[in-house]
Structure 1
Amino acid sequence: MAGHTWDRVPIDAQSIEAPLSRSAIFLVVETMDGNDAIASVRATLGGLDDLIKTVGFRDLDGKLSCIAAIGSALWDRLSPSSRPAELKPFSPIDGPVHKAPSTPGDLLFHIRAERADLCFEFARLLLDTLGDAVRIVDETWGFRYFDARDLLGFVDGTANPVGQDIPESALVGEEDREFAGGSYVVTQKYLHDLSAWKAIGADRQEKIIGRTKVDNIELDDQAANQKSHKSLATIVDPQGVEHDILRDNMPFGSPGRREFGTYFIGYTRRLWVIEKMLQRMFIGEPKGAYDRLLDFSTARTGTTFFAPSRSTLAKLANAE
């Protein structure tokens, strides 16, 4: 691959490349004020691997993992002298029709396993360890839906990089060597109006998404001034290079509350790629020709984090 430099960059990334699991918990917390809270956070980050082993040994086939990612404000408290080059708070987007809000979050724990009970037990012990040092902002339980489809009925994550393309797309490299092996993470919770979505019929749904519903085949955009979700989410730089991100989106919901959604989580080597994707979706390309999927899916949250490499996470945990 052109520009591939990973033979010269040591990589000890967290388990970002793990395949889509059957269950997940997305846990976002804020850190309380004071040195005691920071000390508790450092101790918890330093003990994550041991906690994974403590819970995961019960079923090694359950493939329990947890990625810890840190928001901009907390990063400054943990490491005021150095920070990833692109790390900053989520930038809200005020589109002509729809908005992408920015919401709080100091820490993200992306917990994954093939069993929901492993995710549950890990989250329980994790929060016991953090104690009063944090306040829960959001806890979302995700699940695999049939053959990796979202609740809109379409296969999600089709464009994900695979194999050797994953580090090139998702992990920081030589451009920010101190933080090589880390990844920028953007999360958003989208709530779907399934009744309105069902009412428009499969043909229009496919035109909005840009893929067929049954067999997941890409479709060409029908109108020059209205791109599909697939096209708007495809980012190509001025040199003609396409930049992928790694998505680990999962459905979530509660039929009793009539709540149906998708938890978007994107890992990227370059934060600007996801920012550009969201600008195209909410503002439009051309301006005003926004992603028509947003007429049925409303963004409720928006937060940016950085998931450091294992060695960097250890340094943050052990810093004074």
Structure 2
Amino acid sequence: MHTTQTGILVDVTKMARYLEFSIDSKSDIKTALQATASIDVSENLVIGIGQSLLDSLGKEIPGLYTMPAQTAAGIDVPSTPGALWCWLRGNDRGNIFHRSRQIENMLAPGFVLSNVIDSFQYDENRDLSGYEDGTENPEGDNAVQAAIVQNRGAGLDGGSFVVVQQWLHDFDKLDEMTSSERDDVIGRHVSDNEEFDEAPESAHVKRTAQESFSPEAFVLRRSMPWTEGTDAGLVFVSFGHSFAAFEALFNRMLGKEDAISDGLFTFTRPISGSYYWCPPVKDGKLDLTVLDFTDS
């Protein structure tokens, strides 16, 4: 039976770890992919495949490409593509650590671990700025419609496309703002999470009102805060049946429509960014039949 990777559609866990892999040896990629295809995919693991991996195989997945780097309104948006992405989820940091080591060993020597981010849930799905995250997330069938590929054929249906960005917050700038100035940045009151009409056009909720686009630009967000030393921010994770909705939202955030950039950029910025294809699963394993890598 073909299904979606379960972890995409369920709520975030208390803790998580993101693993990004690069290609270590092209000669061992097929063996590493066979190992990838043997991994049990439960709701505590989501796996994504990057364009560079497809390039090494000479394969294509319709709708997958490398996230473009760009600069707009003085905002630098980096592209840091990876070959493979794993999102480990759970409520015990030790279990996540041991699972990540197991996966890293399974994928060697074809893949080498290039980046690790540990994250966590804060105060019932709040960003470290104090504001609730994912308030307008679609639910139920609407989440499936937004996030999951359908009617594209075997090996594609049930898959998803994920955007992964690490955002670095400037908490000193946040501290300099009054509570009303911070509310204006977001477009919601931190006290009750309610939107307010008098928020400026740069407010994040106005920049990203998903129903205001044509077609509507709904995505399924699964973001979590991160910290490392004195640095901290948000790992933005967004699933869609394509990248079109995210790109529409992000282009408006950058002010490409009307030269009004999102207020979020006053205190935070992306320091990484990548696109991945999350294959469907069959009998609890990744369905990689469309890659046909055994004969490539």
Q: Say yes or no: TM over 0.5.
A: yes
Contact 1:46-1:317 within 8 A present in 2 as well: no
Partner of 2:271: 300
Partner of 1:162: 139
Question: TM-score scaled by structure 1?
Answer: 0.84
Higher helix proportion (structure 1 or 2): 1
Matched residues in 2 for 1:166 and 1:299: separation? 25
Match of 1:94 among 65, 71, 77: 71
Contact 1:21-1:113 within 8 A present in 2 as well: yes
Match of 1:29 among 12, 21, 30: 21
Give the C-alpha shift of residue 121 in structure 1: 1.2
Question: TM-score scaled by structure 2?
Answer: 0.90
Partner of 2:55: 76
Matched residues in 1 for 2:148 and 2:110: separation? 29
Partner of 1:152: 129
Secondary structure of the structure 2 residue equivalent to 1:290: coil
Structure 1 position 173 matched with structure 2 position 150: yes
Contact 1:232-1:285 within 8 A present in 2 as well: no
Q: Equivalent residues in 2 for 1:184-199 (5 A)?
A: 184-199=161-176
Deviates more, 1:101-110 or 1:113-122: 113-122
Partner of 1:267: 239
Structure 1 position 112 matched with structure 2 position 72: no
Structure 1 position 229 matched with structure 2 position 204: yes
Secondary structure of the structure 2 residue equivalent to 1:24: strand
For the structure 1 residues 221 and 26, does the alpha-carbon distance in structure 2 shift closer, same or farther, using more than 3 Å as the test?
Answer: farther
Matched residues in 2 for 1:41 and 1:198: separation? 47
Match of 2:4 among 3, 13, 18: 13
Structure 1 position 290 matched with structure 2 position 282: no
For the structure 1 residues 218 and 317, does the alpha-carbon distance in structure 2 shift closer, same or farther, using more than 3 Å as the test?
Answer: farther
Give the C-alpha shift of residue 300 in structure 1: 0.5
Secondary structure of the structure 2 residue equivalent to 1:104: coil
Counterpart AA for 1:35: S
Matched residues in 1 for 2:47 and 2:83: separation? 11
Partner of 1:59: none
Matched residues in 2 for 1:252 and 1:66: separation? 18
| Over 6 Å off, 4+ runs | none
Matched residues in 2 for 1:309 and 1:76: separation? 20
Matched residues in 1 for 2:141 and 2:81: separation? 34
Partner of 1:4: none
How many residues align structurally?
289
Matched residues in 2 for 1:237 and 1:207: separation? 19
Partner of 2:38: 47
For the structure 1 residues 281 and 11, does the alpha-carbon distance in structure 2 shift closer, same or farther, using more than 3 Å as the test?
Answer: farther
Give the C-alpha shift of residue 217 in structure 1: 1.0
Structure 2's unaligned 5+ residue stretches are: none
Counterpart AA for 1:23: M
After superposition, the CA RMSD in angstroms is 2.1
